[in-house]
Amino acid sequence: MYPLKFRPILKERLWGGEKLGSVLGKSIESDSTGESWELSAVAGDVSVIENGPLRGTSLQTLINTEKEALLGKSVYSRFGTEFPILIKFIDAKKDLSIQLHPNDELAKKRHNSFGKTEMWYVMDADTNAELIVGFNKNVSQEEYAQSLENDTLLNLLNYEKVKEGDTFFINTGKIHAIGAGVLLAEIQQTSDITYRVFDFNRRDKNGNLRELHTDQALDAIDYEQKDDFKVAYPQMENVVNPMVDCPYFKTNFFELTENIEQDISERDSFIIYICVDGAVEIVNENGAATIQKGETVLVPGSSKRIDLKSTGAKILEVTI
């Protein structure tokens, strides 16, 4: 199998904007497009291949037929035919709701789902744009609950101003929100389980308040103040720069100014490449695909080598 590109799955959101079109070149149809799901096996939102002989085949169909050849033996033995990663681009024209995600144990018990550990790579940010990540002090469950009643939750939260290239690791239980003016790439466990705890009292287009998950969130939140979310990573040219290594995914950063070759015969995992700037051609034994800023490609686990051909690109490399 050759490097596979997929059709974006575009999502309108209350807080969405136009940057997925203006910055990333997506064919958006509204000025409130909040998400582009780039690689997904979530039921009801399964990605479809858009290049080569397999064009029109769904990711799930290919997983079911190719199994280890697509996923890699170790990934298939761990997850079976459930694809473990979800890749999105998110454009927040307005603030997203304050939210968090349950861990694997809680998600399995309540939703028969994976938990949701994720990371963000900021691709574009307006002046003074910021994220909310965690609390600004240690908070008790009682103090947190009282802040919801008093409408003072925002006073307890930690705000981080951001710029292009900033990277954040959001482990389960950490309260967080993407702020207005931020466009980012999100890498996460395959899960759509989110506990929304505050939404700025906004109403949807029908005048309704959005559902909150106040009670479910109480025993899922990490109430400690922690400084474990900002990812410091090297940015040397034309070499692997490690970013995140967690039980659910590993992410590396490449800044390419020339072609490089990688022997991946020992990896035993599919590889996802996300182009966050410039353009790069990705070549394996069976073919090639070119991606530019805002595009993603999946390299099958059976691949033995990868050539990354570019005169200028920044890419994220994701494996299990």
CATH of the domain at 80: 2.60.120.10
Query: Does any domain span residue 157?
Result: yes
Are both 199 and 50 inside the same structural domain? yes
118 is in an annotated binding site: yes
Are both 178 and 286 inside the same structural domain? no
Query: Does any domain span residue 234?
Result: no
Are both 191 and 245 inside the same structural domain? no
Q: How would DSSP label each residue in 135-163?
A: ESS---HHHHHHHHHHT-GGGGEEEEE--
Do 97 and 198 meet the contact criterion of CB atoms below 8 Å apart?
yes
Are both 213 and 250 inside the same structural domain? no
Are both 212 and 256 inside the same structural domain? no
Beta-carbon-side half-sphere exposure of residue 296 (alpha carbons within 13 Å): 28
Are both 40 and 167 inside the same structural domain? yes
Report yes or no on whether pTM surpasses 0.75: yes
Residue 204 has pLDDT above 80, yes or no: no
Number of structural domains the chain divides into: 2
- Active site members: 196
Are both 186 and 248 inside the same structural domain? no
18 is in an annotated binding site: no
Name the percent of the chain lying above pLDDT 70: 100
Query: Does any domain span residue 198?
Result: yes
Residue 48 buriedness (CB in 10 A; 0-12 / 13-18 / 19+) = middle
Residue 3 has pLDDT above 80, yes or no: yes
Query: Does any domain span residue 194?
Result: yes
Q: What is the pLDDT at residue 28?
A: 96
Query: Does any domain span residue 231?
Result: no
pLDDT digits (tens, 9 = 90+) for 284-315: 999 999 999 999 999 999 999 999 999 999 99
Domain extent at residue 278: 241-319
pLDDT digits (tens, 9 = 90+) for 57-97: 999 999 999 999 999 999 999 999 999 999 999 999 999 99
CB-based contacts of 227: which residues, under 8 Å, 6+ apart? none
Residue 206 has pLDDT above 90, yes or no: no
Query: Does any domain span residue 229?
Result: no
Query: Does any domain span residue 235?
Result: no
Name the percent of the chain lying above pLDDT 90: 92
pLDDT digits (tens, 9 = 90+) for 215-268: 999 999 999 999 999 999 999 999 999 999 999 999 999 999 999 999 999 999
Match 């600004």 to its residue by tokens. Answer: 136
pLDDT digits (tens, 9 = 90+) for 117-155: 999 999 999 999 999 999 999 999 999 999 999 999 999
Are both 75 and 157 inside the same structural domain? yes
Query: Does any domain span residue 313?
Result: yes
Are both 89 and 183 inside the same structural domain? yes
Are both 248 and 214 inside the same structural domain? no
Do 269 and 320 meet the contact criterion of CB atoms below 8 Å apart?
yes
CB-based contacts of 258: which residues, under 8 Å, 6+ apart? 238, 310, 311
Nearest to 101 by CA among 112, 111, 116, 90: 116
Q: What is the pLDDT at residue 187?
A: 98
Are both 68 and 172 inside the same structural domain? yes
183: number of Cβ within 10 Å: 24
Q: Is 120 helix (H, G, I), strand (E, B) or coil?
A: strand
Q: How would DSSP label each residue in 20-52?
A: HHHTT-----STTEEEEEEE-EETTEE-BB-SS
> Mean pLDDT across the stretch 34-50?
96
Are both 21 and 140 inside the same structural domain? yes
Q: How far apart are CA 1 and CA 303, in angstroms?
A: 8
> Mean pLDDT across the stretch 201-207?
83
295 is in an annotated binding site: no
Q: Is 62 helix (H, G, I), strand (E, B) or coil?
A: helix
Q: How far apart are CA 129 and CA 126, in angstroms?
A: 5
Residue ranges in 55-102 assigned as alpha helix (H)? 59-66, 68-71, 73-79
224: number of Cβ within 10 Å: 13
